[in-house]
Amino acid sequence: MTLAEVQRILEAEVLCGHEHLGASVEVAFGSDLLSDSLAFARPRSLLLTGLTNPQVIWAAEVIEVTAIVFVRGKRPSRDLVKLAEEKGIPLMVTPKLLFDSCGLLYQAGLRGTLDHERKQ
Amino acid sequence: MSGNNKAFLELEFPVAAMDFVRAGRVASQIKRALEQAGMPAGVVRRAAIAAYEAEMNIVIHSHGGVMRARIAPSLVEIEAEDWGPGIPDIELAMQEGYSTAPREILEMGFGAGMGLPNMRKCADRLDIRSEVGKGTQVVVSIFNAEPLEARA
């Protein structure tokens, strides 16, 4: 699924990384806990979270996520967006809740990280 | 470290307690160094996650410390040494979900009690030494099954 599709499905606003919307994600992970994201998210995945402190970007870099969607309309600070721009990580914000966002993406064919691993 | 396990690159970074603005940068720098050294993606990823968790542990739980990375053709060691309260019960701290992080840390998305368990998952060998009232030293060893070309 491309990031442009993610944006359309979640009616999300792109905060940075417009030029990467053609990139695609294979799997997604949703959590408000960074350690769980580190444990379960996978490279080239989409991270959905309600956390907006800069730690999210540092963790995302370590995990090598393709893009981050902030749920529940949570808007990160300008500094966080700047950091994401430097790291080349596209950011979006959706007014939808975490559960609803995940449900919509799942319905559209995106799968979870563990589902994906079982198939391989 | 000896032979193929002899480090050709050693890095050291100070880590300040409760500095959430800078926290995460050391793990990022270690990750970049491993990539530049030509380590396989899987090794880089495991080492970076372990380093991130170790760095966060120093930031959240200690009075400050130092992170070291030793890179050898077939081995990466991430060492985190801190000055602080130490861990009274390491076995308990290794349990998933056990956390002593204060409330404001939880609100930042940390304190899930997954730091040390995550490090164990990433590590081929995990050594923890801790002395209550003095500090903690954690060494994560990750073996590289596809050793790099021998270097001078």
The DSSP call for residue A19 is: G
pLDDT at B152: 42
Contact B137, B79 (CB under 8 A): yes
pLDDT at B2: 59
Per-residue pLDDT band for B22 (boundaries 50, 70, 90) equals confident
The DSSP call for residue A33 is: -
Residue type, B58: I
**Where do the H-state alpha helices sit in chain B?**
25-37, 41-61, 90-93, 103-107, 115-122
Query: Terminal CA-to-CA distance of chain A, rounded, Å?
Result: 18
The verdict on A68 touching B (C-beta cutoff 8 Å) is no
Q: Is A54 in contact with B24 (Cβ distance < 8 A)?
A: yes
- List of chain B residues whose C-beta atoms are within 8 Å of the C-beta of residue A58: 23-25, 27-28, 52
- pTM, whole model, 2 decimals? 0.90
How close does chain B come to A64, measured CA to CA in Å?
A: 8
The verdict on A108 touching B (C-beta cutoff 8 Å) is no
The DSSP call for residue A60 is: H
pLDDT at A35: 87
- List of chain A residues whose C-beta atoms are within 8 Å of the C-beta of residue B49: 38, 62-63
What value does the mean pLDDT take over residues B42-52? 96
**Phi, psi (deg, nearest 5) at residue B134:** -115, -55
Q: Could you say which of A35, A54, A59 has the minimum Cβ distance to residue B112?
A: A35
How close does chain B come to A102, measured CA to CA in Å?
A: 19
| Residue B32 neighbours by CB under 8 Å, 6+ apart | none
pLDDT per position in chain A (120 positions), as tens? 999 999 999 999 999 999 999 999 989 999 999 988 998 888 999 999 999 998 999 999 999 999 999 999 999 999 999 999 999 999 999 999 999 999 999 999 999 988 777 665
pLDDT at A27: 95
What value does the mean pLDDT take over residues B55-79? 96
- List of chain B residues whose C-beta atoms are within 8 Å of the C-beta of residue A77: none
Strands (E), A17-87: 27-30, 45-49, 67-70
Residue type, A68: I
Cα distance between residue B127 and residue B54, in whole Å: 12
Does pLDDT of B21 surpass 80? yes
ipTM: 0.84
Cα distance between residue A39 and residue A37, in whole Å: 5
**Chain A residue at shortest CA distance from B19:** A55
Q: Is A32 in contact with B31 (Cβ distance < 8 A)?
A: no
Q: CA distances (Å), B146 to each of A44, B9, B42, B79, in order? A: 23, 18, 11, 22
Mean pLDDT of chain B: 92
Which residue of B49, B57, B67 is the best one to mutate when testing the A interface, meaning the one whose CB has the most A CBs within 10 A? Answer: B49
User: Where is average pLDDT lowest: B9-18, B100-109, B112-121, B143-152?
Assistant: B143-152
Cα distance between residue B105 and residue B56, in whole Å: 11
- List of chain B residues whose C-beta atoms are within 8 Å of the C-beta of residue A43: 41, 45
Query: Terminal CA-to-CA distance of chain B, rounded, Å?
Result: 15
Residue type, A20: H
Cα distance between residue A46 and residue B152, in whole Å: 41
pLDDT at A119: 63
- List of chain A residues whose C-beta atoms are within 8 Å of the C-beta of residue B24: 54-55, 57-59, 61-62
What value does the mean pLDDT take over residues B78-94? 95
Q: Is B24 in contact with A59 (Cβ distance < 8 A)?
A: yes
pLDDT at A94: 98
